Structure 1
């Protein structure tokens, strides 16, 4: 009796909560489940009690109705809950039909026939409605499952894409790094080649200089004069010769200028013969011997001057 009282309390509490007919009625389903639990515990000690069987079927019917109404009360539910409600209805309907049959056979059933018939009617309708709700919930769950799968695949693709992008970026960075290292190696190789070439060129120049100017070699003495002194003297004589030659040039020019001036003066002082002179006058006679002597003396003087110049040159060169 205590279990029956507790079960009745949960049943009444669930019905009162369900009267709110909104999201606040979500707890009524749990209270109906507690009612069913305590009735089943009471039936373990009294299996032949037909009233307990009817009460259990009634609690399952009310719990199933509460689950079906969650859709209209904006209360979330699962296909498993609808499947459980449908299972309870399908288990209760044959029990009540059997009670109605026994009552028709005259067996003592304390439950009125009208109540049994109403139960069968409501239970059948709820079974049909529960099947539709179950299909709808299963469809929603399948769609949700497909959506989650699509989201998972999309997330996986995004992750793979990010990983691929990272791999490509890393490969690009590695390639750029290798390219920088290659350019650096090429530059270092060119620098080393240049340095090596400079060193070889420097060594070659030093060897050439060393070959031209040997260090530590004693000068050779020939006839009381060493080669350095002789080369120095020969160089000095060479430069002296050039300077002497250069000094002779102005003297020669000056002499030539003087000779040209004397020649022009003589040509001016020479009298102009009239145009009517005879061939004798043109070619000269005995009276012009003085002129011939002057010309001869000037020519001899020019020859002597030239001889003196040549003698001076030979003397200086010697």
Structure 2
């Protein structure tokens, strides 16, 4: 297990993903504001990990609050939630986690005579429960998706949807891990994923950590690799899935999906149920985060672009449902037509 984030008595400890793969260092966030900064600066990233990080940030903020009554704590609680919700707009897990913590808090605060220490303990326990649930859901997702991958061959992935993007095991990489554990002989091809290079820096690091053969390719090599027969399947993660099956994932995913369909290669999306947003009808209404221009203009502190050049840096793009072969969740594998399959699973109680 790669310790992406950990609750401690002093705060929330994060593996600093901005320094991988060359440095394995940790950052301790001792306030909820520092947790928010860790999320914004991508020290921690990946929709599931962002969600649990936010939940821990809420718990940390309440733990450190000087409030002695519920009346005093409630406005501070709402401020904590607002700060954390403002970090990254595309990953719906962020808002799901905050909403879950808010629901717990509202029930607690309505109880006559409840003490602030009791509220703190229960919120901390809820955040840690979400941590454990995330690992369990990733493992279940892996089992559900493993049989979709080839028993032998190349699998392309984009960005990092592994243990580093979750609390452990991973979504897309969890599917790959489960397939390998079941005996599949898979060669992973990891898109470098410009401009932040999550594939080159993170996916390659964690898969090699698990002795899974991995080859890093430039983003613009994917089409050629497909044409040469190197790729038998594509599996990626997601930051938000709309009710019609449209998928928001790291910028560049849409192009990979189009290429996969052109070459007759299955394109799978692996994500926990918390990433599915039934309140968002289509991908057209998913908010897309715009990242700082410096991520494009500079690399390793060195400027790459001329002064005055315009810069676009959307963090995500939307892959429309027509390019998605299947959506893999811990609750099952969904196929088109997605409005029907998603609605049916949404109406089914978890575990049924």
Is the TM-score greater than 0.5? no
TM range (shorter): under 0.3
Name which one, 1 or 2, has greater alpha-carbon Rg.
1
As a proportion of its length, which structure holds more strand? 2
As a proportion of its length, which structure holds more helix? 1
Normalising by structure 2, we get a TM-score of: 0.19
Normalising by structure 1, we get a TM-score of: 0.21
